[in-house]
Amino acid sequence: MHLNRLLLYFLIGLLIGCSDSKVNQGKDFIFGTLIDIKIYGESKIDAEKVSNEIFTEFHRLHKLLHPWEKSLITDINTAISENKSITIDSNEILTILNNVQRLETQTQNLFNPSIGKLIKLWGFHSNDYNHKKIPNEKIIQELVSSNPSMQSIRIENGILKSNNENVQIDLGGYAKGYALDQAKKILKENNVENALINIGGNILAVGKYGKRDWVVGIQNPRKPNVLATIALKPGWAIGTSGDYQRYIMVNNQRYSHLINPKTGYPENKTQSATILLPPAEDSGALSDVFSKPLFIIDKENKATMAKKLNIKYFLIIMNDDSILISESLNKEINWEDDIDKRNIKIF
Amino acid sequence: MIKEILKFFNTIKAGDWFIIILFCALIIVSTKFLWNLPQGEYLEIYKNNKILATYSLNQKITKIINGAKGDTKIIIDNGRVRFVSAPCTKKYCIHQGWINKANQIIICIPNKISISILGNKKNYDSINY
């Protein structure tokens, strides 16, 4: 009889060991993209509770920051276009606007969250952009030469005013990263030590997957699989700007949503720019923002821009299939077999 | 009634329990395992153990492959694949029917053609895109 009981316990143990019950996963569709939260080492109930708290926060941010559906941002934009001032009673928005003003200067205006009019003109202020037309060149030139910039916005005692009516704030290149940082806070408040948060490809690692680091795959811009994998150490964030998620095809030519604020046209020589950033309070937001200038700036200046922004880990895929990678990232990355190593240039 | 059931249970010996539990466990483990197999994404076609071609499974297409004994015809049908005709005598490969899960394989030994399905290699926790 004792033997039977032992055997039974052994088999039950075997069964429990088989299922991956250590990770609980939550998915939702917010910010027009897929959110995937993996929590390691918590009970299913606790993990679900925390995931839902994060999803609720993301829905709040979505409503607050939406670039074209009614939000505090569209209210501000309406005021700016009518050359009126607007009182902002949200400290959060004031902090965000302050941050993006600073980031715009830091990135030599290549991250410019005030070009909402250009993004709308190209048709990306829509959930189903499948138009086959490129905008009128003259209108593009007019908008570019009106020089929209976050620096035209003055905020005093919570009252915002812009002296450029063509400024329309679009935080599309910041919001998802900011949301990662908010998620990190919620995890900490709930004492969750190990999690992986993915907002439409922007990923933040909190803690580890048991004894090993979380591992992420980097999407191949032109194939339906990953081109490499990389371990994301605790607190690190990874962000990619790519021309393969939001884009339109006109006459067999690809026009991505990543518009160069200085030309008014989508940058078309880069397929993707990926960066990894070390733990910091705003590493999520920075991983979202800093991939843009690296994507947009011309090939010759990409490494210089990375250095200027203190990005030690970057990977850029050009349209001619050449791969630019920083030395630090090259040491840690695991390439998939189908990558032609002769195309890799190390910086 | 209950007494009879208990009586029946008393007739089961340690060795019987061993076999009963073992098989129950085997059924549960294999169901769990097979249920969760990821759907495949690519099809690899081998001829003489060399890769002849790789196709996406997400299409509807008929392919004819020239093997050791003649032409083998396969059909890819949006996520699944099967042999339709082959020059072999036993036609085992055709009787296998459709396959659609990662790591599934059909081999036609006489014609030296095999097809196998590749899934998303899940050697990462999440994808950055």
Give yes or no for B12 touching A (CB within 8 A).
no
Question: By CA distance, what is B119's nearest residue in A?
Answer: A225
Task: List the strands of the sheet with A23-30, edge to edge.
Answer: A23-30, A33-40, A195-199, A202-206, A237-242, A270-277, A313-318, A323-325, A344-346
* Beta carbons of B125 and A274 less than 8 Å apart: no
Which B residues, 89 through 118, put their C-beta within 8 Å of a C-beta on chain A?
none
Task: State how far the alpha carbon of A40 is from the alpha carbons of A15, A23, A207, A281, in Å.
Answer: 19, 4, 9, 22
Min Cα distance B92 → chain A (Å) is 32
- What is the reported pLDDT for A21? 63
CATH 1.10.3980.10 fits A68-162, yes or no: yes
Task: List the strands of the sheet with B80-85, edge to edge.
Answer: B60-66, B71-77, B80-85
* Beta carbons of B128 and A229 less than 8 Å apart: no
Q: What's the CA gap between A184 and A193, in Å, rounded?
A: 10
Question: By CA distance, what is A18's nearest residue in B?
Answer: B29
* Beta carbons of A3 and B14 less than 8 Å apart: yes
Give yes or no for A157 touching B (CB within 8 A).
no
Q: What's the CA gap between A262 and B109, in Å, rounded?
A: 62
| Contact between A160 and A85 (Cβ < 8 Å) | yes
Low-confidence ranges of chain A (pLDDT < 70): 1-21, 224
- What is the reported pLDDT for B49? 66
Chain B CB contacts of A224 under 8 Å are: 41, 56
- What is the reported pLDDT for A225? 72
Tens digit of each residue's pLDDT (9 = 90 or more) over B27-78: 888 876 666 555 667 888 888 767 788 888 878 889 999 988 899 999 998 8
From the list B18, B32, B128, the residue facing A7 with the nearest CB is: B18
Which A residues, 13 through 32, put their C-beta within 8 Å of a C-beta on chain B?
14-15, 18-19
Give B8's pLDDT tier (boundaries 50, 70, 90): confident
**Both structure tokens of A93:** 């928005």
Q: What is the DSSP string of A83-134?
A: T--EE---HHHHHHHHHHHHHHHHTTTSS-TTBHHHHHHTT-SSSS-----P
Give yes or no for A6 touching B (CB within 8 A).
no
Across the range B99-110, mean pLDDT stands at 79
Give the residue from B13, B120, B125 with the most A CB atoms within 10 Å of its CB, the best one to mutate. Answer: B125
Angle at A246 between CA A251 and CA A324, to 5 degrees: 95
* Beta carbons of A216 and B18 less than 8 Å apart: no
- What is the reported pLDDT for A226? 81
Which A residues, 266 through 285, put their C-beta within 8 Å of a C-beta on chain B?
274
Domain A213-347 CATH class label: alpha beta
Tens digit of each residue's pLDDT (9 = 90 or more) over A11-67: 555 554 444 568 888 878 788 887 889 999 999 999 999 999 999 999 999 999 999
Question: By CA distance, what is A200's nearest residue in B?
Answer: B129
Give B88's pLDDT tier (boundaries 50, 70, 90): confident
- What is the reported pLDDT for A17? 46
Full-model pTM? 0.73
Q: Which helix (H) or strand (E) holds A308?
A: helix A302-308
- What is the reported pLDDT for A317? 96
Domain-wise residue ranges, chain A? 68-162, 213-347
Q: What is the interface pTM, i.e. ipTM, of the complex?
A: 0.81
The mean of the pLDDT values for chain B is 82
Predicted confidence (pLDDT) at residue B103 exceeds the cutoff of 70: no
Min Cα distance B15 → chain A (Å) is 9
Residue of A321, A309, A331 lying closest to A230 (CA atoms): A331
* Beta carbons of B17 and A19 less than 8 Å apart: no
Cα radius of gyration (chain A): 22
- What is the reported pLDDT for B78? 82
Decide if A68-162 and A213-347 have a common fold: no
